């Protein structure tokens, strides 16, 4: 009996020591254990639509028959993937350029509507196009190789992770890179993202800032927020980078909208969303919409700055539960791809989260992104099956006094009432009342003050643009017409 108690005490001490050195626990992780007992039918969890997808189930059966695992490290071999990329290099590059140029044009749509000018560009010959393609491919290859070198240096210094492979361009950000790694301490796969810091970042790059941010992310644990397990600043060739460690996700809300299978979440961003998606069922829209609002409300109550990076790609779907991601973008002063669109008619940034939520809600119903500030009658005609959603979109966007509803007001709407939030019931009450240290509060207040200063500066610049004289506008039109005439004159018909 004495030996039994001695072994138990030794086991408890080992476990406590192990947890003390472990960073990166997701206390709300809903991954199922591999070896578990047979569950009773009465306690069976309600499955989401993606888990009931018949095509996904058939694909899973085929994978099992081939004796392959569905984990990320057992995907196609490097030789097959490189051969596939080589054979489709030109097509993939064309899709990447088309999508990114289309997104940029959509962001400038509101500014170009006030002018009736038509812009003309001369046609390039075939040789110059091929040279541009080769140059772009070479630049992208150098960028990926550089990111891989930085990630390998970080992994060698930490001695905790093993590199599985470098992933494709999972997101739309050009200078962001993704890596799949293995956490040797927790025996779990993790996702590492690497992105360079821009010059507008107000945070001081030092170990104390890193510790404050890590403590902040630890305090922001919530069932509907995707955690940041670790953050690290690295310097490489006089350039500062930020490295984030997060759990391997099962796909985003955008993947769910566009029908992307869970084992294909790490495919190239420009290829996954080339075709139009399908609208989600209304109960799923209500459930996930309420979960996103609960996450926004939690952050607002903790004094977090206004979330400016809310879009369907930054909402991770884990076993049917929506979890808000990308919180670090607000802290590191990054600008999202949809930022020019959602801020085109806002006088201040206090309601950016509301406008972004309206865009996410529209995409969940229509199956495609909203490239204008608010939906037009043509856009609303695609939402005939969702009259309650149309009513809420009118509440969000149709405001005559430029006063948009808050997150609290959206939570009280009939569309999100009587929603079962089982994850909130199972979580302890103390989790939702974290204590923020004075250093964390000072950091958040500094970011808020900086955002207010940028808002005032942008308003001044807009006022300067609106006070442009008619003579300047006439001169600009004349110069544009002269340029068009010269191009037409040099073109051989």
Rounded Cα distance between 47 and 56, Å, is 14
pLDDT band at 485; cut points 50, 70, 90: very low
Residues 303-307, mean pLDDT to the nearest whole number: 91
pLDDT at site 138: 83
34-48, 349-363, 396-410, 420-434: segment of lowest average pLDDT: 34-48
Judged by average pLDDT, the poorest of 12-21, 64-73, 133-142 is: 64-73
Range in 75-79, 269-273, 287-291 with the lowest mean pLDDT? 75-79
State the burial class of residue 41 (Cβ atoms within 10 Å of its Cβ: 0-12, 13-18, 19+): exposed
CATH 1.10.510.10 given to domain 250-469 = yes
Assess whether pLDDT exceeds 90 at residue 164.
Answer: yes
Question: Residues 236-262: pLDDT tens digits?
Answer: 888 999 999 999 877 899 999 998 887
How is residue 1 written in tokens?
């009996």
Whether residue 476 is predicted with pLDDT greater than 80 in this model: the reply is no
Q: Percentage of the chain surpassing pLDDT 90? A: 38
Among the ranges given (74-78, 118-122, 422-426), the one the predictor scored with the smallest mean pLDDT: 118-122
**CB contact set of 273 (below 8 Å; sequence gap of 6+):** 99, 254, 258
Reported as a pLDDT band with limits 50, 70 and 90, residue 126 is: low
pTM above 0.85, yes or no: no
Least-confidence region, from 136-140, 267-271, 330-334, 400-404: 400-404
- Return the domain boundaries, the chain: 250-469
Q: What are phi and psi of 435, to 5 degrees?
A: -100, 120
Residues recorded for the chain: 493
Secondary structure (3-state) at 386: coil
Residue bearing the bigger pLDDT, 142 or 61: 142
* 163-165-169 Cα angle (round to 5): 130
Return the minimum-mean-pLDDT range out of 76-80, 340-344, 414-418.
76-80
23 pLDDT tier (thresholds 50, 70, 90): low
Q: Please give the average per-residue pLDDT across 134-154, as a whole number.
A: 88
Query: 484 pLDDT exceeds 80?
Result: no
Poorest-pLDDT segment among 7-11, 23-27, 464-468, 483-487: 464-468
Q: Is the pLDDT of residue 196 over 70?
A: yes
Q: How far apart are CA 183 and CA 163, in angstroms?
A: 9
Which of 385-389, 470-474, 483-487 is modeled with the greatest confidence?
Answer: 385-389
pLDDT of residue 232: 94
Give ∠ CA 396-414-343 in degrees, rounded to 5.
Answer: 15
Picking from 331, 125, 135, the residue whose alpha carbon sits closest to that of residue 244 is 331
């Amino acid at each position: 009996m004495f030996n039994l108690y001695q072994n138990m005490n030794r086991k408890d001490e080992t476990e406590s020591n192990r947890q003390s050195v472990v960073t990166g626990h997701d206390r709300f992780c809903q991954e199922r254990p591999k070896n578990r007992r047979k569950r009773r039918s009465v306690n069976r969890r309600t499955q989401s639509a993606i888990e009931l997808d018949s095509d996904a189930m058939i694909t899973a059966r085929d994978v099992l028959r081939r004796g392959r695992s569905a984990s990320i490290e057992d995907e196609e071999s490097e030789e097959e993937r490189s051969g596939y990329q080589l054979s489709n290099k030109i097509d993939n590059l064309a899709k990447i350029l088309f999508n990114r140029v289309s997104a940029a044009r959509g962001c400038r749509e509101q500014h170009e509507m006030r002018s009736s000018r038509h812009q003309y560009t001369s046609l390039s010959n075939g040789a110059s196009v091929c040279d541009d393609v080769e140059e772009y491919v070479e630049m992208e290859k150098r960028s990926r190789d550089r990111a891989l070198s930085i990630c390998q240096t970080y992994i060698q210094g930490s001695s905790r992770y093993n590199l599985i492979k470098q992933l494709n361009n999972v997101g739309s950000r050009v200078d962001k890179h993704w890596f799949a790694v293995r956490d040797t301490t927790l025996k779990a796969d993790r996702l590492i993202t690497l992105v360079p810091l821009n010059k507008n970042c107000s945070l001081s790059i030092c170990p104390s800032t890193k510790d404050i941010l890590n403590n902040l992310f630890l305090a922001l644990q919530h069932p509907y927020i995707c955690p940041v397990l670790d953050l690290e600043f690295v310097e490489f060739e006089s350039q500062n980078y930020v490295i984030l460690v997060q759990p391997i996700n099962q796909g985003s809300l955008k993947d769910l909208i566009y029908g992307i299978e869970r084992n294909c979440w790490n495919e190239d961003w420009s290829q996954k969303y080339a075709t139009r998606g399908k609208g989600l069922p209304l109960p799923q829209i209500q459930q996930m919409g309420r979960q996103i609002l609960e996450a926004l409300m939690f952050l607002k109550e903790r004094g977090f700055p206004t979330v400016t990076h809310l879009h369907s790609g930054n909402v991770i779907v884990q076993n049917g539960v929506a979890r808000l991601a990308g919180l670090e973008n607000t802290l590191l002063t990054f600008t999202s791809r949809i930022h020019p669109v959602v801020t085109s008619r806002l006088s201040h940034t206090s309601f950016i989260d509301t406008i972004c939520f309206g865009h996410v809600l529209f995409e969940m119903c229509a199956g495609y992104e909203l490239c204008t500030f608010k939906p037009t009658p043509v856009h609303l005609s695609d939402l005939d099956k969702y009259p309650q959603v149309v009513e809420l979109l009118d509440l969000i966007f149709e405001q005559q006094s430029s006063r948009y509803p808050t997150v609290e007001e959206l939570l009280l709407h009939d569309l999100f009432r009587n929603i079962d939030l089982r994850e909130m019931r199972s979580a302890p009450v103390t989790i939702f009342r974290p204590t923020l240290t004075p250093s964390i509060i000072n950091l958040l207040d500094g970011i808020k003050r900086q955002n207010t200063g940028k808002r005032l500066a942008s308003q001044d610049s807009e006022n300067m643009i609106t006070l442009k004289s008619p003579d300047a506008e006439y001169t600009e039109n004349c110069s544009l017409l002269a340029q068009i005439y010269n191009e037409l004159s040099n073109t051989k018909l």
